[in-house]
Amino acid sequence: NTCKEEALRNLSHTEVSKFVLDRIFVCDKHKILFCQTPKVGNTQWKKVLIVLNGAFSSIEEIPENVVHDHEKNGLPRLSSFSKIGIQKRLKTYFKFFIVRDPFERLISAFKDKFVHNPRFEPWYRHEIAPGIIRKYRKNRTETRGIQFEDFVRYLGDPNRRWLDLQFGDHIIHWVTYVELCAPCEIKYSVVGHHETLEADAPYILKEAGIDHLVSYPTIPPGITMYNRTKCEQQGHFHLSPE
C-alpha cells in the first residue's frame, strides 16, 4: 500500500538515494545484496556475507571488531560502485532485508538508546532526547528524562523531518523501512521477519543458493519469543529513564 501511494506521488521513479545505497552490502561472488536494518540480527548476516566473500573461511574466525569495520571486512557497500554497476547489481542480484514488528522495534529503540544504552552512545541522551523534549513535551514544568510518550509524539509528527536532519544518521533506529531500504524502488527477492528468523534464515540461504556453503549462526532458543513478551510487558509504557 505504501508503495502504491509512493507511485501515485511519482516517487518510485526516483533514483535510489545514497543513504539507501550505503546500507546495502554486496557479495559479488554469489550475487547477493543485503540491506541492513537495525536490530534484527544484522551482525550475523554480515558475518555470513564476509565468509561468502572469502575474507575469512568461517564465521567463528571473524573478530567482532572487524564485522563493522568496513575497511577490513571485505564487504563493499553498493554506493561504492559506478552508476552502471549499481543498476546491474540491483537488476540481477538476489536481494533481501529483514524487518521486525514496528511496535516492538520502537520499544527496542527507545530502551536501547534512551534507557539503557549499553554501548554508551551519549548523544542519544544528551542531544537527541533534549531536542525531542523541547519540542514535544506537553508539560513544560516537568523535568524527568525522556518518556516514551515524548518519543511517540515526536514520531507521530509528520513535520519532524527538520529535526531528523539535525539528529543525522542516528535516527536509523526508528526511521521507516521504506526510507532505509527503498522497497518501492528495489524489487527485493525476500523480506524476512525477525519474529520468524528460525525459519526465514534457512529459507533465505536456500533461495540465494548458498545453503550448501554457509549456515546462519544458531539463534539462541526463544530469543524472538523473549523479545515479544518483553515488549508486551513494556507496552504499558511504564518506562522510567532509570
Q: Is the pLDDT of residue 235 over 60?
A: no
| CA–CA separation, 174 and 219 (whole Å) | 24
| Cell output for 175 | 526511521
User: Could you report the per-residue pLDDT of 166-221, keeping only the tens digit for each?
Assistant: 998 889 999 989 889 999 889 999 999 998 998 999 999 999 999 999 988 877 66
> How large is the C-alpha radius of gyration of the chain?
19
Instruction: Please answer whether residues 234 and 112 qualify as being in contact, where contact means their C-beta atoms are separated by less than 8 angstroms.
Output: no
State whether residue 16 is helix, strand or coil.
Answer: coil
Tell me, what's the pLDDT at 232?
66
Residue 181 contacts residue 23 (beta carbons within 8 Å): yes
* 60-116 tens-digit pLDDT: 999 888 988 888 888 999 999 999 999 999 999 999 999 999 888 898 899 889 988
Edge-to-edge strand order for the sheet containing 24-27? 24-27, 32-35, 94-99, 190-193
Is the pLDDT at 240 greater than 50? The verdict is no
CA proximity to 194, closest of 173, 219, 164:
219
Q: Rounded CA gap, 158 and 141, in Å?
A: 25
In this structure, how many other beta carbons lie within 10 angstroms of the beta carbon of residue 122? Answer: 8
Residue 94 CA to residue 235 CA, distance in Å, equals 36
DSSP 101-137: -HHHHHHHHHIIIIII-TT--HHIIIIIHHHHHHHH-
Sign of CA dihedral 53, 59, 62, 65: positive
Q: What is the pTM of this model?
A: 0.85
Give the three-class secondary structure for 27. strand
Question: Which CA distances in Å does 194 have to 84, 98, 140, 170, 228?
Answer: 33, 6, 38, 21, 11
Question: Cα(130)–Cα(124) distance, rounded to whole angstroms?
Answer: 9
pLDDT tier, 222 (very low <50, low <70, confident <90, very high otherwise)? low
